[in-house]
Amino acid sequence: MIRPADIARASGVLSPVNAGQLPSLPAPFDASPRVSQKLRAGVDTSLDGFTALGLQPPANLQEEEALVERFLSGLQKLFSADDNWPFFQQLSLSVDHCTHCQSCADACPIYQESGCNEVYRPTYRSEIFRRVVRKYLRPGGKWVAALRGEDIQLNATAIVRLAELAYRCTLCRRCAQVCPIGVDNALITRELRKLFSMEMGIAPKELHDKGSVLQLRVGSSTGMNPRAAKDNVEFLDGEAQELTGMTIHTPWDKEGADVLLIHNAGEILSWPENPMAFAAILEAAGISWTLSSELAAYDSVNYGVWYDDVQFARVAMRQAEAARKLKVKKIVMGECGHGHKASMVVADRILTGDLNIPRESALVFLRDIVRSGRLHLDPSRNDFPVTLHDPCNMVRLMGIVEPQREVLRTLCPQFREMTPHGVENYCCGGGSGFAVMSGNNFLDWRMTVAGRRKVRQVIEAFADQPGPEIKKYVCAPCSNCKGQLRDLFQYHGLWEKSGIMYGGLAELIVNAMTDIKQKFIQWEFH
Amino acid sequence: MALLIFIYVAAAAFIIGNVYRIVRIARMPAHLRWELYPMPKGTHAQQQYGGSYFEQTEWWTRPRERSWPGELAYIAREVLCFKTLWGNNRGLWLWSWLTHVGLYSLVVTAVLTVAMAASGAAIAGVVQWTAGIAICAGMSGSLGMLAMRVASPRLRPFSTRLDIFNLLLIASVFGTGAAAFMSDARVPEQMATFLRSLFGTSPAPRLTLASSIHLAMVGVFLAYFPATHMTHAYMKFFTFHRVRWDDTPVVHDSALTQAMSENLGRPISWSAPHIVGDGRTWAAVVARADEEARR
């Protein structure tokens, strides 16, 4: 039995993922998971055999002491009204009121699908955090910790494992949803990530160096600068024109447009059919719209929302500034879940005055266009099995549940729900940045543990038509979720063995448009 | 006399401790939004499936719906029925529910005893009933929880000494109450007289040893309560109303706008290379990214 204090015990791998203990998937997807060991020399995998951060343990006692000192300095700042006003109250409430009832354990797909690996239990990480806070920050903490029997030695082993453990939770917040007290263990995970990033400069490269830093410097976390983005979209306009037979010209920086559309720029490179579909819909519906070429404003991603309040605020401000400059009536957030939450919810209160341009979800915007009758739509063009993946950020964390369903019920005769769905959905396993994190052997963990419940749900949703001869569509109106589904479907063979593909919501709408001669959905897995 | 003084001190600790905790949390800075659905707001249908105002066309043009009745109904279901625990942790539900019914009944018993002491109303029979419910429910619930904490492989690894101590303390409050009743059936009248003596309107009564121990245990529980996570009894107002259900957009709240402006003027000391706060304000640190991009 692994206990919280064991986090500090140097003993090889604390709690390895045992492939034999993972709950098996239905046939023919029940092959043993592959776990590669492609690791850089010296990288610490002492938590569970995997690494998201690629940290190396301190080389000597001096480095270890410095690490502990910096960690404690960051811990103090998490409980400072000045340094952590954005989440001070929420964090304090969650630290002080957990009753250890373990209701959250059954709700966590990672804990359950790991075969109940104790270190993934939602309370394991947060209980360590609580004990460290009580011992090192509260008056008489060391004495009280000994008395309570919950002493944890804060050493390099504990800190490096905690840093990794902060990246074994997708922040889906199912655990918070079932907590009778209102405690939020996912928030504690996020605050831990903040401590590591904002004080110690420790964050996954994919989220920080190649993520928010790149977005602020170049314009997009994809590395596309404004010129490249414009060129790519111009190319896509040509493609869309060829595919739809419509005249499509994506407007850039059109001052006074009704709508500033902000896509996840990853769509332009990885799923170009999505921005093409949006362009076709907006063109056909006669909407006044534009994209912005301002830095960060043509990419809705805001990775800071997962790990760093300052990076988060910087990106949110940039996007709002661009909208203000263009004098648009509203911003429509493209199919990007965390972009939705970052801009519409978490950033809402820092966007004061004329920076608070109204922001609307693309799902609502598309629903209203479908409702308006401005498009000529024929549902029989979508007569194939369709299910819906609910992105956590849009659904459980924003309450946008029905608009996308209304579109699917209207346009997809074979639409069926996953179980459970809506606000009780399961994360795709790529949440909180995991979908873009594949360094070292993290991809294997993401495929075998984090995404396992979603694979199971998708297979079960199409259980009545399992063969590959019938093509099936998982509608995932979120770019990061699509990235995770792409990797999952490849890893577990869902496309090859069962003909299951994924895509966005806009593509289904264009596929149903009667003005378009050929089918928009091409059934080419990518 | 010693018991009287101890109860004064315990009551003072209870009041001061709880007020301190409430004021401390309430005075924390206005925070960023971190809501979670479903929440008891919006239309009845939305409350059922977890929808929000974001589902409406141009939501910012519509009046904001207040929903105290919905929130109160949710809280009532939680407080009286433990609905979330019933739905997600059935094995623990019965024992937890019984413990809390015991505590609620204890509070009702205390209130009735105060009424008895203040007005001299002849309600000792009613008090005996509520005390009986408190003892039966509280004892069985807390001992059941204790057994689960010790024996359940699900709870044991994360049950601390403090969890065990808290349950033993609760069980001892109810257990000593039962002993007091067994030693003398006129406990309600004795307690009413004791309460009058607390306010100096009556001489201290001669209590049985069991009643004295029971009062001492109640005093320990009262003094200890604010230092524990048992304050979740009222902190749920904050965890639910102020965090989970706080979906107030800044455009609808001028006080919030002012609070946020003040927050952005707070100094920041985070020291990672991409921040280097050094006491500059949040607004200045956030704007620094623009300066760097222009260089």
> Tokens standing for A511?
């596929």
Please identify which residue in the block is written with the tokens 């972009």. Answer: A339
Spatial neighbors of A423 by CB under 8 A, at least 6 apart, are: A177, A390, A395, A396, A399, A401, B37, B38, B49, B50
Mark yes or no for CB contact B292/A118 under 8 Å: no
Is the minimum CB–CB distance between B295 and chain A shorter than 8 Å?
no
Is the domain of B217 the same as that of B269? no
Give the mean model confidence (pLDDT) for residues B193-207: 87
Nearest-CB residue to A93 (from B239, B268, B270) = B239
Q: Which residues pair with A260 in a beta bridge?
A: A290, A331
Residue B138 lies in a domain: yes
Is the domain of B141 the same as that of B84? yes
Q: Alpha-carbon distance A204 to A130, whole Å?
A: 24
> Tokens standing for A474?
């998982």
Q: How far is A340 from chain B (nearest CA, A)?
A: 11
Q: Show residues of chain B in contact with A216, CB under 8 Å.
A: 289, 292-293
| Alpha carbon B172 to chain centroid, angstroms | 21
Is the domain of B44 the same as that of B11? yes
pLDDT score for A42? 84
pLDDT score for A79? 98
Q: Show residues of chain A in contact with B88, CB under 8 Å.
A: 103, 106-107, 178, 180
Q: Closest residue of B to A102, CA-based?
A: B155
Give the mean model confidence (pLDDT) for residues B136-164: 93
Residue B81 lies in a domain: yes
DSSP state letter for A477: -
Using DSSP, state whether A33 is helix, strand or coil. Answer: coil
- What confidence category does residue B153 fall into, taking pLDDT thresholds of 50, 70 and 90? confident
pLDDT score for B29? 97
Q: Closest residue of B to A405, CA-based?
A: B55
Q: Which has more pLDDT, A232 or B64?
A: A232
Using DSSP, state whether B1 is helix, strand or coil. Answer: coil
Q: Which of B32, B49, B231, B290 to mutate to test the interface with A (most CBs of A within 10 A)?
A: B32
Q: Alpha-carbon distance B117 to B189, whole Å?
A: 8
pLDDT score for A436? 97
In the stretch 165-224 of chain B, residues with CB closer than 8 A to chain A read: none
CB atoms within 10 A of CB A186: 27
Q: Closest residue of B to A125, CA-based?
A: B158
> Tokens standing for A189?
């995970």
Pairing of strands A500-503, A472-475: parallel
Is the domain of B218 the same as that of B281? no
N-term to C-term CA, chain A = 43
Q: Which of B276, B286, B290, B292 to mutate to test the interface with A (most CBs of A within 10 A)?
A: B286
A330 touches A258 (CB < 8 A): yes
Quote the radius of gyration of chain B (alpha carbons, Å).
25
Mark yes or no for CB contact B37/A423 under 8 Å: yes
What range does the domain containing B271 cover? 265-294
CATH number of the domain that residue B50 is part of: 1.20.950.20
Complex ipTM over 0.90: yes
Q: Which of B28, B34, B82, B242 to mutate to test the interface with A (most CBs of A within 10 A)?
A: B34
Provide the edge-to-edge strand list for the sheet that holds A259-262.
A289-290, A259-262, A330-333, A359-361
Q: Alpha-carbon distance A89 to A94, whole Å?
A: 9
- Backbone conformation region of residue B263, classed left if phi is above 0, alpha if psi is from -120 to 50, else beta: alpha
> Tokens standing for A270?
């990885």
> Tokens standing for B121?
């109303």
Q: Alpha-carbon distance A335 to A354, whole Å?
A: 25
DSSP state letter for A32: P
Q: Show residues of chain B in contact with A127, CB under 8 Å.
A: 158
Q: Closest residue of B to A354, CA-based?
A: B251
Please identify which residue in the block is written with the tokens 């993946």. Answer: A389
Q: Which of A112, A371, A401 to mutate to test the interface with B (most CBs of B within 10 A)?
A: A401
Q: Show residues of chain B in contact with A349, CB under 8 Å.
A: 30, 32-33, 250, 256, 260
Spatial neighbors of A387 by CB under 8 A, at least 6 apart, are: A415, A416, A417, A418, A458, A461, A462, A472, A473, A474, A475
Residue B253 lies in a domain: no
A170 touches A436 (CB < 8 A): no
Mark yes or no for CB contact A92/B239 under 8 Å: no
Based on the structure, what is the number of domains in chain B? 2
Q: How far is A71 from chain B (nearest CA, A)?
A: 11
Q: Whats the size of chain A, residue-wise?
A: 526
- What 3 state SS string does A50-98 have? CCCCCCCCCCCHHHHHHHHHHHHHHHHHHCCCCCCCCCHHHHHHHHHCC
User: A-B interface: how many C-beta pairs under 8 angstroms?
Assistant: 251
Q: Whats the size of chain B, residue-wise?
A: 295
Spatial neighbors of B14 by CB under 8 A, at least 6 apart, are: B222, B223, B225, B226
- What 3 state SS string does A303-371 have? CHHHHCHHHHHHHHHHHHHHHHHHCCCEEEECCCHHHHHHHHHHCHHHCCHHHCCCEEEHHHHHHHHHH
Q: Alpha-carbon distance A453 to A26, whole Å?
A: 12
Using DSSP, state whether B213 is helix, strand or coil. Answer: helix
Residue B254 lies in a domain: no
- Residue A347 CB burial class (10 angstroms; 0-12, 13-18, ≥19): buried
pLDDT score for A30? 87
- Per residue of chain A (526 residues), what is the pLDDT tens digit? 899 999 999 989 999 998 888 999 999 998 877 766 567 778 999 999 999 999 999 999 999 999 999 999 999 999 999 999 999 999 999 999 999 999 999 999 999 999 999 999 999 999 999 999 999 999 999 999 998 888 899 999 999 999 999 999 999 999 999 999 999 999 999 999 999 999 999 999 999 999 999 999 999 999 999 999 999 999 999 999 999 999 999 999 999 999 999 999 999 999 999 999 999 999 999 999 999 999 999 999 999 999 999 999 999 999 999 999 999 999 999 999 999 999 999 999 999 889 999 999 999 999 999 999 999 999 999 999 999 999 999 999 999 999 999 999 999 999 999 999 999 999 999 999 999 999 889 999 999 999 999 999 999 999 999 999 999 999 999 999 999 999 999 999 999 999 999 999 999 999 999 999 889 999 999 9
Positive/negative CA dihedral, B55, B61, B63, B68: positive
Please identify which residue in the block is written with the tokens 């919905």. Answer: B70
Please identify which residue in the block is written with the tokens 């709408």. Answer: A509
pTM of the model: 0.95
Give the mean model confidence (pLDDT) for residues B149-168: 91
Is the domain of B195 the same as that of B232? yes
Using DSSP, state whether B222 is helix, strand or coil. Answer: helix
* Domain edges within chain A: 4-199, 224-367, 375-511
Nearest CA among A483, A486, A513, A171 for reference residue A335: A483
Q: Alpha-carbon distance A340 to A326, whole Å?
A: 20
pLDDT score for A518? 87
> Tokens standing for A123?
């309370």
Is the domain of B239 the same as that of B279? no
Q: Alpha-carbon distance B284 to B265, whole Å?
A: 8
Spatial neighbors of B63 by CB under 8 A, at least 6 apart, are: none
User: Dihedral of the CA atoms B225, B229, B234, B239 (nearest 10)?
Assistant: 170
Q: Alpha-carbon distance B224 to B14, whole Å?
A: 7
Q: How far is A149 from chain B (nearest CA, A)?
A: 6
pLDDT score for B276? 87
B98 touches B138 (CB < 8 A): yes
pLDDT score for A243? 92
Mark yes or no for CB contact B58/A358 under 8 Å: yes
Please identify which residue in the block is written with the tokens 């109160």. Answer: B72
Please identify which residue in the block is written with the tokens 């692994």. Answer: A2
Nearest-CB residue to A92 (from B28, B154, B236) = B28
Residue B119 lies in a domain: yes
Q: How far is A395 from chain B (nearest CA, A)?
A: 8
Q: CB-side exposure of B236: number of CA atoms within 13 Å? A: 16
Q: Closest residue of B to A420, CA-based?
A: B49
Is pLDDT of B294 > 60?
no
pLDDT score for A37? 59
Is the domain of B133 the same as that of B14? yes
Positive/negative CA dihedral, A49, A55, A56, A58: negative
pLDDT score for A38? 63
Q: What is the mean pLDDT of chain B?
A: 93
Q: Show residues of chain A in contact with B35, CB under 8 Å.
A: 345, 397-399
Is the domain of B51 the same as that of B189? yes
Q: Show residues of chain A in contact with B85, CB under 8 Å.
A: 101, 103, 180
Number of H helices, E strands in chain B: 12, 0
Is the minimum CB–CB distance between B119 and chain A shorter than 8 Å?
no
Using DSSP, state whether A502 is helix, strand or coil. Answer: strand
Residue B43 lies in a domain: yes
In the stretch 42-101 of chain B, residues with CB closer than 8 A to chain A read: 42, 46, 49-60, 78, 82, 84-85, 87-89, 92, 96
- Percent pLDDT > 90 in chain B is 80
Is pLDDT of B221 > 60?
yes
Residue B249 lies in a domain: no
